Amino acid sequence: MLESRFEVDKVLPLLERGLVLRRFGLTADDLPLLHDTIAELNVHWGLDGTMRGAADNLFTWQQALERIVLGWMLPDDGSPLWQNVSAWHGDVNRLDVFGRFAAFIRTLSRLAAEWRKPAVAEEWTERCRDLVQSLFLPDADDQYALQQFEQALAKWQEETALAGFQRHFAATHRHPPHPPLFRQRKPSRISARRHHLLQHGADEEPAV
C-alpha cells in the first residue's frame, strides 16, 4: 500500500477493514457517506501534487481534504472559491466523520513519507511497529496475529544483525527482504509462478 500511488480502489478497501475503522473511531455505517463524499470530491490517485508530478493537487487526497476544510470555513453563498480551491459543503451534522477520515488520510501521508526514506534494519523495525500502531486497533481476536507479527519482526531484525547488514536501504530494496507486516501464508501455485518469473526474468509478469 505505502509503495502504491494511493489510488481510490486501494485506499478505500484499507479503510473498510474493521481494525482500521476502530483506530480512527469510524464504523461500517460511516462507509456509504465516505464513499459518496470521495466520489463527489473526484479523487483519482496520489496523496498530493508532488506524488502526481504536478504543479497542483488536482484529483488528489490532499485536494479532497482542502475542499472539505474550506466547506467548514466558508459560507455556502455561491462563491466557494479560495486560492483557486473549490469548497465542498457536506453535511454539517457529520463533521466528526469527516474529521476522522481526514486523520486517516493524514496518517497515510505521514507513513508514506517515512517509508520513502532509506533506513537501517533497526529503524525499519520501528517503522513497522509504528505503522501497525498508527493504522490498526486490534481487538481480542487479533492478538494471536499481533503476537506472530512481533515474533516475525524480531526474527527478521535478528537475522539482519547476524548477517552484519548495516546499510541503509529503501522499502523497495530486495536484500534483506521486507520486514514482515503480515503473517506469512503458503503461496498459491499462481503466486509461486509469479515469484519465479520475477526472480528469473523469463517472460516476467508485472508486479502487483
Question: For position 86, what pLDDT does the model report?
Answer: 79
Distances in whole angstroms, Cα of residue 142 to Cα of each of 26, 73, 103, 137: 18, 40, 23, 9
User: Is 129 within 8 Å of 16 (Cβ atoms)?
Assistant: no
Question: For position 171, what pLDDT does the model report?
Answer: 73
pLDDT tens column, 65-104: 999 988 887 767 665 666 667 788 888 889 899 999 999 9
3-class secondary structure, 82? strand
pLDDT range class, residue 172, cuts 50, 70, 90: low
Q: What is the mean pLDDT of residues 5-10?
A: 94
Q: Write the single-letter amino acid at 17.
A: R
pLDDT of 187 over the 60 cut: no
Question: For position 208, what pLDDT does the model report?
Answer: 41
For the chain, the average pLDDT equals: 81
Q: Where are the beta strands (DSSP E) in the chain?
A: 81-82, 85-86
Mention every residue, 6+ apart, whose C-beta is less than 8 A from residue 60: 43, 44, 45, 46, 47, 48, 49, 51, 52
User: Is 125 within 8 Å of 175 (Cβ atoms)?
Assistant: no
pTM over 0.85: no
Answer with the residue of higher pLDDT: 205 or 118: 118
Which of the given ranges, 20-34, 45-59, 118-132, has the highest pLDDT on average?
20-34
User: Is 153 within 8 Å of 125 (Cβ atoms)?
Assistant: yes
pLDDT of 200 over the 80 cut: no
The number of residues making up the chain comes to 208
Q: What is the mean pLDDT of residues 175-192?
A: 45
pLDDT of 148 over the 80 cut: yes
Question: For position 169, what pLDDT does the model report?
Answer: 81
Is the Cα torsion angle 41, 45, 47, 50 positive or negative in sign? negative
Question: For position 23, what pLDDT does the model report?
Answer: 97
